[in-house]
Amino acid sequence: QIALNESGPTLVKPTQTLTLTCTFSGFSLSTSGVGVGWIRQPPGKALECLALIYWDDDKHYSPSLKSRLTITKVTSRNQVVLSLANADPVDTATYYCAHTSSGKLYWFDPWGQGIPVTVSS
């Protein structure tokens, strides 16, 4: 059974770097075809995909946020880490990580429960 869990700070000051960790079980990021994505959702707004990383270390970033994002995997620990530099209040959102497989840029299933993050001084 696949499960994912997001962890990290729930309050970040503007200009700081937001670092979130996705710890998962039930699959391995060394398995061909497998990936993990990060998606966020500002309060009352739509979903926005931020970044994806795959078993072969291929990485994809949101074009609008690419300069601020870094995604890495720690395969031995079953973790994926997302960093968002220069945090701004508009980055306030619930951040989700999700499993993807069967190919790149496909659907996400399942998702973690999400972690709410507030950017405020």
Partner 1 sequence: YELTQPPSVSVSPGQTARITCSADGLPNQYVHWYQQKPGQAPVLVMYQDSRRPSGTPERFSGSSSGATVTLTIGGVQAEDEADYYCQSLDRTGSFVIFGGGTKLTVL
Q: Is 58 in the site for partner 1 (CB under 8 A)?
A: no
**Least distance (Å) between residue 88 CB and partner 1:** 21
- Whether the Cβ atoms of residue 16 and residue 3 lie closer than 8 Å to each other: no
Q: How far is CA 73 from CA 40, 53, 66, 105, 118, in A?
A: 19, 7, 17, 17, 24
- Would you count residue 3 as binding partner 1 (CB under 8 A)? no
Per rule CB under 8 A, is residue 95 in the interface with partner 1?
no
Helix (H) or strand (E) holding 36: strand 35-41
Count of residues engaged in binding partner 1, rule: CB under 8 A: 22
Sequence-ordered list of residues with C-beta below 8 angstroms from that of 46, at least 6 positions apart, any chain? none
Task: Give the one residue of 1, 32, 43, 63 binding partner 1; rule: CB under 8 A.
Answer: 63
- The sheet that has 69-74: what strands, in order across it? 3-7, 18-25, 79-84, 69-74
- Choose one: 10-18, 21-29, 56-64, 79-87; the region binding partner 1 (CB under 8 A): 56-64
Which residues ranging from 16 to 55 are in contact with partner 1 (CB under 8 A)? 37, 39, 46-49, 52
Using CB under 8 A, pick the residue from 34, 80, 112, 117 that binds partner 1.
112
9 contacts 16 by C-beta, under 8 angstroms: no
Q: Point out which residues bind partner 1 (CB under 8 A).
A: 37, 39, 46-49, 52, 60-63, 96, 105-114
